[in-house]
Amino acid sequence: MSRFGRSDGRWGDRWGGGFVVAVVLLLAGAAWLGNYLAGWLGEAPASTEDPAGTAGEGILPGGQIGQWAGMGEYPKAFNVYFLQAHALRSQEKAAEAARSLEAMGVPAAVTHDGEWYKVIIGAYGSKDAADAAKASAEITTELPLYANHVTIPGDPPVLPVTAEAQTPYNQGVAALNSFMHLAAAWWDRYATAGIPDPADQVVYQAQQLEAVAQALAPYATDPAVSDLLRVTQLAVTTGRQMGQITPQMQPGDRAYQDAMRSYVTLVDTYRTWAGSGW
C-alpha cells in the first residue's frame, strides 16, 4: 500500500511539474497564434476583380445592368447592335433608301460590306435596346427589320513604329474604346426609356480624347498614330454632336440623326481600322 502510495506521490509531483510547463507552452502558443491571426485578418484580401471590369456585369447610366463595365486602361471587345433595312449592290440606291428612311424620322446610315451596301438604322449597345427600337421603327417604316450586331475589337492589330509613341498610343486606344462604350450605353438609354439622359459623360470622354490627340500629335508621322488620330477626331465630333441632343428631341430631328449617323460611321471606321468589316 505504502509502496503504491509513494509511487503515486512521485508521479503526482512529476505530473504537476509537467502540467505547469505544458500550460506555459500552451499560453505562449496561444499568444503567438492570436498575433498571427490578428495580422492575417488585418490584411486586405487580394482583389479578384478584373481591373477593367467584366463584360456582362457593368452598370448602365441609371442603374441598368448591361455589358458596359468600367473600361479603365484596358480596352475590351464589345458588341454594337443595329437594325438592317436593306442590302443593295448600288451605293446610290442605298443612299437614296437611307434618305427615304430619314424623311420618315428614322436615323439611317449606309455601311459597306464587300459587294453590299447595307442600310442600317441606329446603333445600340444591347439586343434589348435594338429590339425596342425595332418594334417602333417597323411601324414607322412598314419594313421588316433585322436586328444584327457587329463586334468592336479591344486592341486593334496595329502598333506604332515609334517607341516613344507607345504609351500615349495605348492611352488613346483605351480612351477611344471607353468613349464608344459610353456612347452605345447612352443610345441604349434613349431607345429603351425614350428620354435621353444628358450626354455629359460622353462629352467629357470626348474632351479627354482631345487631350490624348494633343499628346499624340508629335508622333503623327507614324502611320499607326496617324490612323488613331483620324478615328479619334471622328469620335470627338460624334461626342460634340451627341452633346447637342436634348430630351425634347425625337429620332426624326436633324441633330439626333446627325449624331447617330456619326456614331455609326465611327463604328464602321474603327472596325475597318481594326481589320474587320461589317
Question: What are the tens digits of pLDDT across the range 35-50?
Answer: 433 333 333 232 222 2
pLDDT of 106 higher than 50: yes
Residue 187 in domain: yes
Q: What is the pLDDT of residue 276?
A: 54
Mean pLDDT of all residues in 169-178: 90
Other beta carbons within 10 angstroms of residue 118's beta carbon come to 20
Residue 257 in domain: yes
Residue 185 in domain: yes
Q: What is the pLDDT of residue 119?
A: 92
Higher pLDDT, 120 or 113: 120
**HSE-up of 166 (CA within 13 Å, CB side)?**
5
Q: What are the E-state strand segments in 70-128?
A: 78-88, 108-113, 116-124
Higher pLDDT, 68 or 136: 136
Residue 225 in domain: yes
- Sorting pLDDT into bands at 50, 70 and 90, what band is 233? very high
pTM for the complete prediction?
0.66
Mean pLDDT of the chain: 73
pLDDT of 97 higher than 90: yes
Q: What is the pLDDT of residue 28?
A: 54
| Cβ proximity of 85 and 159 under 8 Å | no
For residue range 182-191, list pLDDT tens digits in order.
Answer: 888 888 777 6
Whole-angstrom distance, CA of residue 136 vs CA of residue 147: 13
Of 249, 150, 164, 239, whose CA–CA distance to 201 is shortest? 239
Range of the domain at 204: 58-273
The cell numbers describing 11, all together, are 508521479
pLDDT of 53 higher than 70: no
Whole-angstrom distance, CA of residue 68 vs CA of residue 56: 7
| Cβ proximity of 229 and 216 under 8 Å | yes
Q: What is the pLDDT of residue 193?
A: 61
| Cβ proximity of 256 and 107 under 8 Å | yes
Whole-angstrom distance, CA of residue 155 vs CA of residue 86: 31
Residue 80 in domain: yes
For residue range 123-157, list pLDDT tens digits in order.
Answer: 888 888 888 888 888 999 999 998 888 888 877 76
Which of 2-16, 140-154, 171-185 has the weakest average pLDDT?
A: 2-16
CA torsion sign, 198 to 201 to 207 to 209? negative
Q: What is the pLDDT of residue 1?
A: 36
Residue 189 in domain: yes
Residue 53 in domain: no
Q: What is the pLDDT of residue 32?
A: 47
Whole-angstrom distance, CA of residue 79 vs CA of residue 71: 14
Whole-angstrom distance, CA of residue 255 vs CA of residue 244: 7
pLDDT of 19 higher than 80: no
**Number of structural domains found in the chain:** 1
Q: What is the pLDDT of residue 6?
A: 34
Mean pLDDT of all residues in 2-17: 40
| Cβ proximity of 231 and 266 under 8 Å | yes
Residue 6 in domain: no
